[in-house]
């Protein structure tokens, strides 16, 4: 990227904040091609919309910055980063060198010759003893302009001094004659309607135009006027220094008429122009003025409605002009007006024309052009209907061009050719790698070098329709899943253990030892628990104690009398301390509510590459506390037929009757119907992928199974609300805790007033931690379905959460406990950074 050149580079000092957007000087600079040098802290804390169109970020001397933060600065609009780091550190950042301005000081040891061909510019700080007019200064500048081949490349050479005196226009003209740009402290600049400047200040307009020269006898400068969208030429006029000052100062296009003098365009006709940008050409003898013409008026002085002195606009600019006219006043029967009024028709035509462009053959370029023109027409109708102009689109394209990192760019699931059901079944062998739904993306060539990054949205920019769409879960093709699940259920129901052995071999790729589909107590033998770390066992013991105490407390606090007092302990099997709700609804009518354990329960614990003793604890302990006589724990075996020792240890703690060595729909079938080795159960509980959920729903609806299930589970999900104070590493860990569950999982980050730097730090942590996990590729697929939503305040954050209704809600915000009362829809709430979901 070639930086725009100007006669001066205004620089805001470290520790200073950005000027107010209402500042006349700040607005004037934004109307020129002048870039501004901004300190990192000012950029980091800048409010949206306050940064200038072109700016360079100045890192503090010898500052260290992580790659993600540097990339975020460039992605968010910075044209370049000024750094004094040696080139080896620049390479370590992995940034493109054409976005680096290298700071050169008297003690710089960087061999610039190795970087000159690639860097964007150099920033020379002169030694204290040198003045701008010294011969040695000219030699230094000449050395670097030659090294950067400025004449051919146009790369800027910025020159700064340590002098406390205010630069003059003569200083700027001198450096401009040497193909260099003077760095001027912003605090030294001022602006006024005339050339007068206060003492010890430098007038910005005089400084910006100081290199300008005229080869005309009248001293005027040829000025090319171009339209903001498409940069199409409107006409050739002349400017003087006073007219240019008026353009920059007021923002109203003002020219110098050779007959009428100073001429503010449209002052009498109403055909005014807003100045978007002023820049000087490479020879400093002509000016280009980019303007925004008032709608419905033209530029040509001969015909008020003629847009350009060179004739009517063409192409997209002409199409936009026509569409804008149709919005205001469409002729009867106008098809364009109909498209504006019927959004469903417009949407249908966009889909139709997109498909026709896709189907057009490369061997027929005229046909491709024809279909592309149709699509561009309907696209521009869509934009005009939403108040979006070509200028807005160009601005978006320019912003994208400045980005140095890109999303992977894969198409969304609904636009990819569906994978076949057979392929989905074949690719799913374990619970940890579930079968892909038919509408999921076909396996593409994965680029593992791309960042694992959640797509970000700003809530304020979303339409109601987009908001609803973002709050939807990833789609699951239930009909295709059922077509896979139902034959499995029927097979296990008919053939029992034999079917389990075959299906375990097929889907879990596991050979069961001695053909046994269950494992019986004791589970905590040294052989079975080999490989479990002592600290893991200790952690499980602590969790078991805490979870048991919580569930036990429910049995003694959900009534108003003990079982003993109610007379139920001895005859009904209640423990004496357990609670019974008893009330007399009317004289002589006594009602009691008391609990009884389900006799046989099946607990499904996902497996594969994921080891989930936490799931076994959360399922097994309630069954144990309830006093269920038969507890069957089902989990997919590992390839050698064994089970993770952590899960077996929990099975021992909860007094499981047996462990079923199977996963997926086949395990659900065995629990529901029973086999020669597997006890039939009365209720099945526990999470699983979409195939496990579908199987549970099928057996519940089978009157022959006579089995109930818990609430059907969707894909795992978590929503994390984080503010600027949340530790990025904690936020990332909470998001990944659910993303690693499966490729159909979804995680959501709702960021409250997050600065670009803090968001970049969180994104960098997600990428770093994900790559360190064994299920990195599963996480990558889940992250593609996940979103970050940036909101302004806590109220907006909690509204988004309540509308989304997450399975798990984590509050990593200041005074997290104070906002819990506002939570309306969430499966579980984890309060504060020290309350992780996992």
E strands, 736-804, are 746-752, 787-791
| H or E, element range at 82 | strand 80-83
**808 labelled catalytic:** yes
CA terminus-to-terminus distance, the chain: 45
Give me the helix-helix angle, 365-385 and 343-359, nearest 10°: 160
CA neighbours within 13 Å on the CB side: how many for 315? 6
Q: Which two tokens stand for residue 744?
A: 């159909």
| Helices and strands, counts by H and E, the chain | 28, 31
Tokens 């050719």 -> residue: 417
Q: CA 123 to CA 102: how far, in whole Å? A: 6
**807 labelled catalytic:** yes
Q: Which two tokens stand for residue 392?
A: 């807005």
Q: Specify burial of residue 170 (Cβ count, 10 A radius: 0-12, 13-18, 19+).
A: exposed
Contact between residue 765 and residue 759 where contact means Cβ atoms under 8 Å apart: no
E strands, 615-663, are 630-635, 658-661
Q: CA 716 to CA 606: how far, in whole Å? A: 12
Q: CA 529 to CA 723: how far, in whole Å? A: 42
Name which of 818, 792, 804 is nearest 720 in CA terms. Answer: 804
Instruction: Please spell the DSSP secondary structure of 236-256, one letter per residue.
Output: EEEE-HHHHHHHHHH-B-EEE
Contact between residue 162 and residue 125 where contact means Cβ atoms under 8 Å apart: yes
Strand partners, 101: 82, 121
Strand partners, 233: 226
Q: Which two tokens stand for residue 270?
A: 């109403």
Sequence-distant (6+) residues with CB within 8 A of 59 are 40, 65, 81, 82, 83, 84, 85
The catalytic residue among 807, 822, 824, 837 is 807
Sequence-distant (6+) residues with CB within 8 A of 723 are 751, 752, 753, 754, 794, 812, 813, 814
DSSP 270: S
| H or E, element range at 442 | none
User: Measured at the alpha carbon of residue 631, what is the angle toward residues 598 and 678, in degrees to the nearest 5?
Assistant: 110
Contact between residue 87 and residue 111 where contact means Cβ atoms under 8 Å apart: yes
Rounded to whole angstroms, the maximal C-alpha distance in the chain is 117
Instruction: Please spell the DSSP secondary structure of 114-156, one letter per residue.
Output: GTTTT-SEEEEE--TT--TTSHHHHHHHHHHHHHTTHHHH---
Instruction: State phi, psi for 346 to the nearest 5 degrees.
Output: -60, -45
| H or E, element range at 261 | strand 261-264
The catalytic residue among 58, 79, 741, 808 is 808
Q: Specify burial of residue 569 (Cβ count, 10 A radius: 0-12, 13-18, 19+).
A: middle
Contact between residue 251 and residue 31 where contact means Cβ atoms under 8 Å apart: yes
Q: Which two tokens stand for residue 370?
A: 């024809």
Positions annotated as catalytic residues are: 807-808
């Amino acid at each position: 990227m070639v930086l725009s050149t100007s006669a001066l580079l205004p620089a805001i000092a470290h520790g200073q904040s950005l000027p107010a957007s209402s500042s006349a000087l700040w607005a004037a600079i934004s109307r020129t091609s002048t870039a501004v040098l901004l300190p990192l802290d000012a950029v980091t804390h800048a409010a949206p919309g306050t940064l200038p169109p072109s700016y360079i970020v100045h890192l503090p001397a010898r500052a260290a910055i992580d790659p993600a933060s540097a990339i975020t600065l460039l992605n968010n609009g910075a044209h370049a980063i000024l750094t004094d780091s040696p080139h080896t550190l620049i390479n370590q950042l992995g940034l493109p060198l054409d976005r680096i301005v290298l700071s050169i000081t008297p003690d710089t040891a960087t061999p610039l010759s190795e970087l000159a061909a690639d860097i964007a510019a150099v920033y020379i700080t002169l030694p204290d003893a040198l003045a701008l007019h010294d011969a040695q200064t000219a030699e230094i500048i000449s050395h670097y302009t030659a090294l950067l081949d400025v004449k051919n490349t146009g790369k800027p050479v910025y020159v700064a001094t340590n002098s406390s005196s205010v630069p003059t226009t003569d200083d700027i003209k001198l450096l401009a004659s040497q193909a260099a740009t003077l760095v001027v402290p912003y605090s030294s600049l001022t602006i006024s309607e005339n050339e007068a400047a206060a003492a010890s200040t430098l007038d910005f307009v005089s400084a910006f135009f100081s290199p300008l020269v005229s080869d005309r006898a009248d001293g005027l400068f040829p000025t090319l006027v171009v339209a903001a969208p498409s940069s199409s030429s409107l006409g050739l006029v002349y400017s003087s220094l006073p007219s240019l000052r008026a353009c920059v100062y007021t923002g109203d296009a003002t020219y110098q008429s050779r007959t009428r003098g100073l001429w503010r365009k449209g002052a009498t006709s109403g055909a005014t122009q807003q100045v978007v940008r002023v820049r000087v050409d490479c020879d400093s003898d002509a000016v280009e003025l980019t303007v925004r013409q008032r709608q419905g008026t033209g530029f040509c002085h001969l015909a008020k409605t003629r847009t350009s002195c060179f004739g009517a606009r063409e192409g997209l600019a002409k199409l936009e002009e026509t569409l804008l006219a149709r919005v205001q006043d469409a002729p009867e029967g106008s098809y364009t007006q109909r498209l504006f009024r019927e959004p469903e028709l417009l949407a249908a035509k966009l889909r139709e024309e997109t498909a026709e462009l896709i189907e057009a053959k490369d061997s027929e370029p005229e046909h491709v052009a024809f279909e592309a023109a149709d699509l561009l027409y309907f696209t521009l109708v869509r934009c005009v209907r939403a108040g979006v102009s070509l200028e807005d689109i160009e601005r978006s394209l320019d912003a994208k061009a400045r980005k140095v990192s890109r999303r992977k760019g894969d198409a969304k699931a609904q636009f990819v050719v569906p994978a076949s059901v057979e392929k989905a079944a074949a690719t799913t062998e374990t619970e940890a790698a579930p079968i892909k739904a038919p509408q999921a993306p076909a396996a593409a060539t994965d680029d593992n070098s791309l960042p694992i990054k959640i797509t970000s949205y700003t809530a304020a920019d979303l339409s109601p329709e987009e908001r609803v769409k973002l709050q939807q879960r990833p789609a699951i093709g239930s009909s295709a899943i059922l077509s896979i699940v139902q034959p499995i259920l029927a097979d296990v129901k008919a053939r029992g253990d034999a079917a389990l052995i075959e299906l375990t071999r097929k889907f879990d790729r596991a050979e069961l030892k001695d053909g046994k589909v269950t494992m019986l107590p004791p589970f905590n033998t040294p052989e079975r628990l080999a490989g479990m770390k002592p600290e893991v066992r200790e952690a499980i013991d602590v969790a078991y104690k805490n979870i048991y105490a919580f569930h036990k407390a429910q049995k003694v606090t959900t009534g108003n009398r003990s079982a003993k007092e109610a007379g139920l302990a001895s005859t009904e099997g209640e423990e004496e301390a357990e609670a019974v709700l008893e009330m007399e609804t009317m004289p002589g009518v006594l009602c009691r509510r008391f609990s009884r354990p389900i006799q046989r329960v099946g607990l499904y614990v996902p497996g594969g590459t994921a080891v989930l003793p936490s799931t076994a604890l959360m399922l097994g302990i309630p069954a144990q506390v309830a006093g269920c006589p038969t507890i069957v724990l089902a989990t997919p075996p590992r390839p050698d037929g064994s089970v993770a020792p952590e899960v077996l240890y929990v099975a021992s703690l909860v007094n499981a009757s047996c462990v079923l060595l199977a996963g997926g729909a086949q395990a659900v079938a065995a629990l529901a119907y029973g086999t020669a080795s597997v006890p039939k159960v009365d209720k099945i509980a526990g999470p699983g992928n979409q195939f496990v959920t579908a199987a549970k729903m099928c057996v519940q609806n089978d009157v022959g199974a006579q089995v109930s299930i818990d609430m059907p589970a969707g894909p795992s999900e978590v929503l994390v609300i984080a503010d600027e104070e949340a530790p990025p590493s904690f936020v990332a860990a909470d998001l990944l805790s659910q993303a690693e569950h499966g490729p159909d999982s979804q995680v959501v980050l709702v960021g409250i007033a997050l600065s670009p730097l803090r968001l970049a730090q969180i994104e960098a942590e997600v990428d770093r931690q994900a790559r360190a996990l064994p299920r990195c590729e599963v996480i990558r697929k889940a992250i593609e379905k996940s979103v970050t939503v940036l909101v302004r305040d806590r109220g907006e954050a909690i509204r988004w959460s309540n509308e989304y209704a997450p399975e798990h809600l984590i509050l990593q915000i200041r005074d997290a406990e104070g906002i819990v009362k506002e939570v309306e829809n969430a499966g579980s709430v984890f309060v504060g950074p020290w309350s992780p979901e996992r």
